[in-house]
């Protein structure tokens, strides 16, 4: 059953409706076509519902949904920082416990794509260079977007000068064996480091 039916077919459809995430199937499919893994799709969806919850807060929360989500879900994050953030969200009338209960796992995404949207997820096991390139480009664009949003917030707060800026990011890969560094596109183009080819 699609998300437009009278009854939700699974947790993702139900949660998407509750948090006003429109066209969830199209958004997940678009991310999937750009090379996103099931775990990345789960993160993408969870950040969308968190963003809606933050928009309903009684005061503006410092930090975008991606940053807040990272703090809340990173197992290596300082517990005191997580507790401070949760306390602040609660003060701003964000029921963060309820929101986190609505977060979905990559398995839930798989079940939704297979059962509700008739999207085959079997290609997960045939990840190739082109799929990897798309995933990296997607991650880089998202990272640049987060940086741009952060600078804009700082600009609005008067913390940085009010001038037009453009964010660009260069990704490099360094070989731990020989120390050679490559631009990511060159690394993928030659299928790894030259030192491995020399040893072959």
pLDDT in tens, 65-96: 898 999 999 888 888 888 999 999 998 889 99
pLDDT at 2: 40
Q: Which residue has the tokens 């050679």?
A: 180
Predicted confidence (pLDDT) per residue in 27-50, tens digit: 888 888 888 888 999 999 999 999
Give the pLDDT confidence score for residue 3 in this predicted structure. Answer: 43
Q: Between these two residues, 124 and 162, which has the higher pLDDT value?
A: 162
Q: Using 50, 70 and 90 to split pLDDT, how confident is the model at 18?
A: very high
Q: Check: CB of residue 115 under 8 Å from CB of residue 5.
A: no
Q: Which range, 72-86, 106-120, 125-139, is most confident?
A: 72-86
pLDDT of residue 8: 52
Q: Scan for tokens 């750009």, then name that residue.
A: 34
**Mean pLDDT computed over 107-124:** 76
Distance (Å, whole) CA 93 – CA 44: 23
For residues 63 and 146, what is the distance between their CA atoms, to the nearest angstrom?
Answer: 10
CA 16 to chain CA mean position, Å:
16
């Amino acid at each position: 059953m699609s998300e437009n039916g009278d009854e939700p077919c699974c947790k993702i459809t139900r949660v998407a409706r509750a948090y006003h995430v429109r066209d969830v199937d199209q958004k997940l499919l678009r991310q999937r076509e750009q090379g996103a893994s099931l775990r990345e799709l789960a993160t993408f969806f969870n950040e969308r519902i968190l963003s809606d919850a933050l928009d309903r807060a009684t005061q503006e929360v410092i930090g975008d949904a991606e940053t807040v989500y990272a703090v809340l879900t990173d197992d290596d994050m300082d517990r005191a920082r997580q507790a401070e953030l949760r306390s602040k969200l609660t003060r701003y009338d964000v029921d963060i416990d309820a929101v986190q209960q609505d977060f979905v796992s990559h398995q839930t995404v798989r079940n939704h794509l297979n059962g509700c949207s008739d999207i085959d997820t079997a290609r997960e096991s045939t990840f190739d260079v082109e799929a990897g390139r798309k995933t990296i480009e997607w991650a880089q664009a998202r990272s640049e977007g987060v940086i741009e949003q952060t600078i804009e917030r700082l600009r609005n707060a008067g913390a940085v000068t009010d001038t037009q800026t453009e964010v660009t990011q260069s990704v490099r890969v360094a070989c731990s064996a020989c120390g050679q560094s490559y631009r990511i596109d060159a690394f993928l183009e030659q299928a790894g480091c030259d030192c491995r080819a020399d040893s072959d």
